[in-house]
Chain A
């Protein structure tokens, strides 16, 4: 039994309905009142700012409150030629590339492990999921301490294990080459619980009889993993990857709190640069144009991905 969630075709369903008794048109607006609170908030805080931002991107709107003037495509042209913006986008891509594979692979491994564990199952579930409920500010404070070169717990254990000498402590967050990895490790630790949960749930929907049948055919554990478990987890993997990509493209919190984009802009990501341009540089117009560039890129990535996965499903 594979999991099929095909939507029933709408048209035939409608045709099946006996047409001779037309339902009396009840003019009830009650439903709308239930939707209104959400819709009002949605319109006020999402739809309106989205269009306002598009408008601002064609002006030199400033946070200082000076009267904005229409400057056409200047902001857009500047954004496309802004080296720092591309560098920031590149860092976002690097973060995505570094963080997605471990977040997928490790969560499968943990899910398989926990799914087999009998006694310690509850403990492992708790241990792996628990970090996910901690707010980002707490996570980054804890990890910044862990990464402290002098007296940080990570370097302490590296010293105990003899991997590094106490005289030359490894610099984590302040080293141009290690900072990104340090943030990736923190992020994996923090967010893996959610993917893990998705996989664990998916694993539990795989019926036992498939395994029993394959065992009768002589399949060993590895064979079952490769030919049954992983293929049946494909939909979950697709979901996890999509969620992961979207989350990674809008990464900001961890970098802002742990490295402030440093050292030497090695961890300055797209949203951080938008923040800098808008709130430190007061240039709301330019920041809006940058946001739209990012928005278009996220759209393209999502569409490509959607196409790729839906073709595989077919």
Chain B
């Protein structure tokens, strides 16, 4: 037999070893959440979806909570925003052994099948923890009830806002003497400002998340008083108003006033590096822009969405705390969990100041300290203008309507679909969703 060169054995073995070592490492970190602390602290497992810049603020607040509550071991886990988070909440709750407390958008509560997957709060226990149930905005508070049970405690209101680069705006004369942004009326008016900004930046007028088109669509559709109502197997929407909103997207992209393609991170980066003079994105990005400003200097402020169709309504939602279903509650854990929720609400000034959200707990928002916060004061009007997503089981932040509509609008920004085609596709997608059996009622 001829002498063959040795098979690539040693090498593979080594790579295999490295690979299995890495796999073992992954396995170990995966077990972190299973490692129940052996001390006598009460463990509270919290799951949240704050994977964005506001997550850092929440982590900071968690640190303070733990410092003030040495008997509680708070184990917070951040999961991917949107579908990945909600699927895990549902699966954890359907097993009855998921998190003790979790964040959730108020618009998603119905889609989480509260009757079977969530445990209600007891008004008495939250009062005992020092929260006043009457100190929330009435409309928001009502949305937290399903069939007379309180399933969520709102932490904030957040919305799409308009950030502006003050240097760019000064150059194009779009600032008031006090340094705030001039108000515009109508689409054309605002497009003129964007055209001027584009001249200065050399790239875009405004930047926006072309993957999250639902938010912009819903803001403009609601500015025009568009309604969306869902019945059994069918739905109603105002085609003309929807088309008008989609046309705004298409024209903006076609003229190069906004990117044809930018995900959340890129859309924020466009604003930071001066490729765009404006960015229409959620108030939560303030943390990121502030950090950038400190590091490299960025003179920016933020205000409400521009008036396109007669008012300054905007799309928004509210983060809240929910109790995923438990097969049984340990009274100690329950007490510590409610204590945690109460702590977060009572200290939500920090949430507002740091993450740009408007706290829901009125004693906080009405405090002089909060009223003096900048630039929060400049967009304080969003609370009245915020429009929650339509009420149906597949709607809400990161839900299927949001995703499905988002993929259609992404094609509009990319100029791959014209507004008429996009509207037809949107209607087809909504019809598909409406035709599905309703799993939660």
Contacts from A to B (Cβ < 8 Å): 60, 62-66, 84, 121-122, 125-126, 129-130, 133, 135, 148-150, 171, 174-176, 197, 200-201, 204-205, 207-209, 260, 262-265, 279-283
Contact = CB atoms under 8 A, between A and B. Distances in A.
Given A62-B439, A129-B15, A282-B90, 6 more contacts: A63-B91, A65-B94, A84-B432, A130-B15, A133-B16, A133-B22
Report, nearest first, the 5 A-B pairs whose CB atoms are least far apart.
A64-B113, A282-B439, A65-B116, A208-B2, A133-B19
Interface in B399-441: 400, 403, 407-408, 410-411, 414, 416, 425, 432, 436-437, 439-440
B414 A197 contact: no
Interface of B: 1-2, 4-5, 7-8, 11-12, 15-16, 18-19, 22, 26, 83, 87, 90-91, 94, 113, 116-117, 261, 266, 325, 400, 403, 407-408, 410-411, 414, 416, 425, 432, 436-437, 439-440
Contact of A204 (B5, B12, B116, B425): B5
A65 B117 contact: yes
A63 B90 contact: yes
Nearest to B111: A282
Contacts of B16: 133
A279 B87 contact: yes
Contacts of A171: 261, 414
Contacts of A200: 7-8
Given A176-B416, A262-B407, A207 B261 contact: no
B15 A282 contact: no
Contacts of B414: 171, 174-175, 263
A130 B8 CA distance: 13
B26 A135 contact: yes
Given A150-B266, A263-B407, A64 B117 contact: yes
A19 B73 CA distance: 71
Nearest to B93: A65
Contacts of B7: 200-201, 204
Given A171-B414, A262-B407, A264-B411, A197 B12 contact: yes
A262 B407 CA distance: 7
A283 B83 contact: no
B410 A174 contact: yes
Nearest to A62: B439
Nearest to B18: A133
Contacts of B90: 63-64, 279, 282
A149 B2 contact: no
A135 B5 CA distance: 30
Contacts of B19: 133
Nearest to B275: A150
Nearest to A138: B22
29 contacts: A60-B437, A63-B91, A63-B94, A63-B439, A64-B94, A64-B113, A64-B116, A64-B117, A65-B113, A66-B113, A121-B5, A126-B11, A129-B8, A129-B12, A130-B15, A133-B16, A133-B18, A135-B22, A174-B261, A175-B414, A204-B7, A209-B2, A262-B407, A262-B410, A263-B407, A263-B411, A263-B414, A279-B91, A283-B436
Given A129-B12, A174-B261, A207 B26 contact: no
